[in-house]
């Protein structure tokens, strides 16, 4: 009997093998000879159709003694591959662990995941109860249901209840979170509610843990996974529901390697499994908002905050009115206000979305700006590490640089980062405990200790980057100062304004979570009152509606499909030539608009020069289909790489 076997590698089709007495069926994991070695592959659902030269058909060596890959998952991988223009073998590879599978796992490894529910009762408010009823309606089939609730309104407990009822029916659940590195708080909440451990899945867990979870998911010994994007490729055997928490978060988009949007692909996977998927958010993304409007998605809203806490009040501090002292960034007005908050024992957050001490470094003598040698990006001065760092490629160097004039460069540090604001605060509030909350300080081993201190109000002032907007619950945080409300949407970023809305909404959601009145102050030079009002409006749907109208008028996503083609090479001349050739070729093959090539806004990253093309078309798979065929038939010159980004979010 001939069987198609998909191998986890770069091929877009299964290979044909022979098996006489193994009685293979769809989804079986098998060992097969491939090239000079033996590999694990999966019995796939279609044969390679392209006629090839006849070659020797090899025999399947053995069938592995583990449950087969679910047919729904196979169908999902096939469409994932078509939608994102990723070879099928690569989709399969993402569901393996370093190209392999896990056949045996001692049962003692699964003890802590055993589902034994606690009898603790969690009371829901009337609104939460109503939401629960709606979420559980018709949840035996595919539906996309948005649970929209103000930050701090108790959405998590509602979907925890949904999951609990599913587990009782023997089903599995996947909870996706955008920032998985700091899930300790979430994990604790889970344990308190369920009484057992969830499996935590992200790129940073140990290989041993990965093996345990992989095997446990396939053999149904593990019921719930909390995971980052990559958890979407786990071989669930009996998946009952997917939750995408903070669905609006743009980190669901994977921008490197295999490029895909994990939220959208989760919806695709749920549709194949015929199960409900719940999108959880305070302010939906534009796409989701449009899908609610057109009634493709259901929506349930929770309007009241926990203990009826109100959302913080906003106040704009016009920096044009007060001349700040040189090399300071905090106004006298703010200092007075913060002092008052400190008297009331409120915790304070100064927000600035810039890591390090200063974003620009110049030399007084030669006027050279310090740039990364590998990227067209300026180096950021990190005072705590005493070095200059590239935030793209990680290039580091010290401050001693030979000057083009003579001797060593004499440096000027321009603009503030969080470290510089921290220095200023140390001077202005010398008695207060303070900490920088950024990926430089919080992705370390002791981060859970720091979190503990913040929660217990042992730290009175935080200086934070965007990282802090991601779902943390700090009970005493009642005052937020946005150091520089920068609303300049950068020209190349279609979603600049939407990103700002989400950011400031999430950020203010961190304040006033336990009922005390809270304030958010925006320091700004920007006098675009209308834009500020839109962004700080307590009803964010006003803004979403306006933004959707603009998109519709201009045929922009989510009303049309964009596909970015990013062409890269270390050879600048060759890149320019090939990009133009490729554009002309595509234009002759496609019935779609092809724009470009243009140099990418960040023209060089990691020594690779980059140009971009943009293909626009209707929102059907026809666009991907014809692109797929065209790309396969185009032979790039050596040293040229092509990245395909379907539904791009970043245009850098």
Nearer to Zn ion, 424 or 440 (CB): 440
Question: Within 13 Å, how many C-alpha atoms sit on residue 401's CB side?
Answer: 23
Beta carbon of residue 494, minimum distance to Zn ion (angstroms, whole number): 25
Residue 603 sits in the site that holds Zn ion (CB under 5 A)? no
Residue 90 sits in the site that holds Zn ion (CB under 5 A)? no
Residue 225 sits in the site that holds Zn ion (CB under 5 A)? no
Nearer to Zn ion, 72 or 378 (CB): 378
**Region of 58-66, 194-202, 387-395, 478-486 interacting with Zn ion (CB under 5 A):** 387-395
Beta carbon of residue 565, minimum distance to Zn ion (angstroms, whole number): 23
- Rounded CA-CA distance 157/298 in Å is 19
- Which region holds residue 356: left if phi is over 0, alpha if psi is between -120 and 50, else beta? left
- Rounded CA-CA distance 468/327 in Å is 25
Residue 374 sits in the site that holds Zn ion (CB under 5 A)? yes
Nearer to Zn ion, 392 or 585 (CB): 392
**φ, ψ of residue 163 in degrees (nearest 5):** -65, -45
Applying CB under 5 A, which of residues 34, 110, 142, 395 lies at the interface with Zn ion? 395
Residue 390 sits in the site that holds Zn ion (CB under 5 A)? yes
Beta carbon of residue 358, minimum distance to Zn ion (angstroms, whole number): 16
Beta carbon of residue 284, minimum distance to Zn ion (angstroms, whole number): 35
Applying CB under 5 A, which of residues 277, 299, 375, 389 lies at the interface with Zn ion? 375
**Region of 37-45, 306-314, 372-380, 639-647 interacting with Zn ion (CB under 5 A):** 372-380
Beta carbon of residue 410, minimum distance to Zn ion (angstroms, whole number): 7
Beta carbon of residue 587, minimum distance to Zn ion (angstroms, whole number): 33
Nearer to Zn ion, 155 or 354 (CB): 354
3-state helix, strand, coil in the chain (%, to 5): 35, 25, 45
- Rounded CA-CA distance 597/574 in Å is 13
Nearer to Zn ion, 395 or 585 (CB): 395
- Rounded CA-CA distance 602/127 in Å is 47
**φ, ψ of residue 499 in degrees (nearest 5):** -60, -45
Beta carbon of residue 352, minimum distance to Zn ion (angstroms, whole number): 22
- Rounded CA-CA distance 399/387 in Å is 6
Beta carbon of residue 367, minimum distance to Zn ion (angstroms, whole number): 7
**Region of 211-219, 223-231, 373-381, 435-443 interacting with Zn ion (CB under 5 A):** 373-381
Determine the distance from the C-alpha atom of residue 551 to the mean position of all C-alpha atoms in its chain, rounded to a whole number.
23
Nearer to Zn ion, 409 or 544 (CB): 409
Applying CB under 5 A, which of residues 403, 455, 631, 643 lies at the interface with Zn ion? 403
Beta carbon of residue 314, minimum distance to Zn ion (angstroms, whole number): 37
Nearer to Zn ion, 399 or 550 (CB): 399
Nearer to Zn ion, 164 or 365 (CB): 365
Binders of Zn ion in range 328-367 (CB under 5 A): 363, 365-366
Q: How is residue 180 written in tokens?
A: 């998985």
Q: Which residue has the tokens 């470094």?
A: 361
Closest CA to 355 of 487, 465, 463, 451: 465
**Region of 72-80, 86-94, 170-178, 401-409 interacting with Zn ion (CB under 5 A):** 401-409
Determine the distance from the C-alpha atom of residue 3 to the mean position of all C-alpha atoms in its chain, rounded to a whole number.
38
Beta carbon of residue 602, minimum distance to Zn ion (angstroms, whole number): 10
Q: Is 282 helix (H, G, I), strand (E, B) or coil?
A: coil
Pairing of strands 199-201, 224-227: parallel
- Rounded CA-CA distance 503/30 in Å is 47
Residue 393 sits in the site that holds Zn ion (CB under 5 A)? yes
Nearer to Zn ion, 11 or 395 (CB): 395
Nearer to Zn ion, 232 or 363 (CB): 363
Beta carbon of residue 359, minimum distance to Zn ion (angstroms, whole number): 14
**Helices and strands, counts by H and E, the chain:** 17, 29
Give every CB contact of residue 407 below 8 A, 6+ residues apart in sequence.
Answer: none
Nearer to Zn ion, 405 or 552 (CB): 405
Beta carbon of residue 400, minimum distance to Zn ion (angstroms, whole number): 11
**φ, ψ of residue 412 in degrees (nearest 5):** -115, 130
- Rounded CA-CA distance 103/359 in Å is 50
Helix 71-84 × helix 621-633 angle, to 10°: 70
Compute how many residues bind Zn ion; rule: CB under 5 A. 12
* Contact yes or no for 163/192 (Cβ under 8 A): no
What does 70-91 look like in DSSP terms, one character per residue?
Answer: PHHHHHHHHHHHHHHT--HHHH
Please give the span between the terminal C-alpha atoms of the chain, in angstroms, as a whole number. Answer: 50
Pairing of strands 62-63, 29-34: antiparallel
Beta carbon of residue 369, minimum distance to Zn ion (angstroms, whole number): 10
Q: Is 3 helix (H, G, I), strand (E, B) or coil?
A: strand
Residue 189 sits in the site that holds Zn ion (CB under 5 A)? no
Residue 409 sits in the site that holds Zn ion (CB under 5 A)? yes
Applying CB under 5 A, which of residues 34, 110, 142, 392 lies at the interface with Zn ion? 392
Find the radius of gyration of the CA atoms of the chain: 27
Binders of Zn ion in range 620-639 (CB under 5 A): none
Nearer to Zn ion, 212 or 361 (CB): 361
Enumerate binding residues for Zn ion (CB under 5 A): 363, 365-366, 372, 374-375, 390, 392-393, 395, 403, 409
């Amino acid at each position: 009997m001939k069987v198609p076997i998909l191998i986890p590698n770069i091929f877009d089709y299964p290979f044909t093998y022979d098996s006489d007495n193994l009685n293979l069926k769809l989804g079986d994991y098998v060992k097969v000879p491939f090239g000079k070695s033996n590999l694990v592959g999966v019995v796939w659902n279609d044969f390679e159709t392209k006629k090839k030269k006849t070659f020797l058909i090899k025999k399947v060596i053995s069938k592995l003694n583990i449950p087969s890959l679910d047919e729904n998952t196979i169908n999902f991988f096939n469409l994932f591959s078509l939608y994102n223009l990723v070879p099928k073998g690569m989709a399969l590879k993402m569901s393996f662990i370093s190209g392999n599978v896990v056949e045996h796992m001692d049962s003692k490894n699964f003890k802590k995941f055993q589902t034994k529910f606690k009898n603790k009762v969690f009371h829901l408010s009337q609104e939460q109860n109503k939401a629960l009823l709606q979420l559980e309606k018709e949840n035996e089939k595919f539906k996309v249901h948005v649970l929209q609730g103000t930050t701090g309104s108790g959405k998590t407990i509602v979907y925890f209840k949904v999951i609990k009822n599913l587990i009782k029916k023997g089903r599995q659940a996947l909870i996706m979170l955008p920032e998985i590195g700091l899930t300790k708080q979430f994990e604790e909440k889970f344990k308190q509610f369920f009484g057992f451990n969830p499996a935590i899945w992200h790129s940073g867990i140990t290989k041993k843990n990965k093996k345990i979870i992989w095997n446990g998911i396939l053999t149904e010994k593990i019921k719930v996974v909390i995971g980052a994007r990559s958890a979407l490729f786990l071989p669930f055997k009996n998946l009952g529901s997917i939750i995408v928490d903070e669905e609006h978060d743009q980190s669901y988009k994977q921008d490197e390697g295999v490029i895909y949007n994990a939220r959208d692909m989760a919806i695709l996977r749920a549709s194949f499994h015929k199960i409900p998927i719940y999108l959880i958010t305070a302010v939906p993304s534009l796409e989701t908002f449009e899908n609610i409007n057109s009634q493709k998605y259901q929506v349930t809203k929770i309007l009241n905050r926990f203990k009826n806490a109100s959302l913080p009040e906003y106040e704009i501090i016009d920096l044009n009115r007060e001349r700040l002292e040189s090399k300071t960034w905090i106004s006298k007005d703010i200092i007075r206000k913060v002092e008052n908050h400190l008297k009331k024992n409120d915790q304070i957050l100064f927000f600035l979305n810039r890591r390090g001490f200063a974003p620009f470094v110049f030399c007084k003598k030669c006027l050279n700006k310090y740039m990364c040698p590998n990227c067209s990006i300026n180096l950021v001065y990190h005072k705590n590490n005493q070095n200059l760092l590239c935030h793209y490629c990680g290039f580091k160097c010290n401050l001693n640089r030979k000057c083009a004039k003579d001797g060593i460069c004499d440096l000027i540090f321009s603009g503030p980062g969080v470290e510089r604001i921290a220095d200023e605060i140390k001077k202005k509030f010398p008695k207060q405990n303070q900490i920088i909350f950024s990926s430089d300080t919080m992705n370390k081993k002791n981060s859970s200790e720091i979190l503990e201190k913040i929660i217990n109000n042992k730290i009175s002032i935080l200086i934070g980057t965007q990282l802090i907007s991601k779902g943390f619950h700090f009970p005493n945080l009642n005052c937020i100062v946005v150091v520089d409300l920068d609303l300049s949407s950068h020209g190349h970023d279609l979603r600049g304004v939407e990103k700002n809305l989400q950011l400031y909404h999430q950020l203010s959601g961190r304040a006033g979570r336990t009922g005390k009145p809270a304030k958010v102050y925006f320091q700004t030079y920007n006098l675009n009152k209308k834009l500020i009002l839109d962004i700080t409006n307590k009803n964010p749907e006003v803004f979403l509606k306006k933004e959707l109208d603009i998109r519709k008028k201009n045929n922009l996503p989510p009303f049309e499909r964009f596909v970015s083609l990013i062409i890269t090479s270390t050879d600048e001349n060759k890149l320019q030539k090939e990009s133009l050739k490729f554009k002309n070729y595509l234009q002759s093959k496609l019935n779609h608009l092809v724009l470009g090539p243009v140099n990418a806004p960040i023209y060089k990253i990691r020594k690779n020069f980059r140009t971009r093309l943009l293909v626009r078309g209707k929102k059907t798979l026809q666009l991907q289909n014809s692109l797929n065929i065209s790309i396969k038939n185009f032979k790039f010159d050596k040293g040229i790489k092509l990245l395909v980004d379907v539904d791009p979010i970043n245009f850098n």
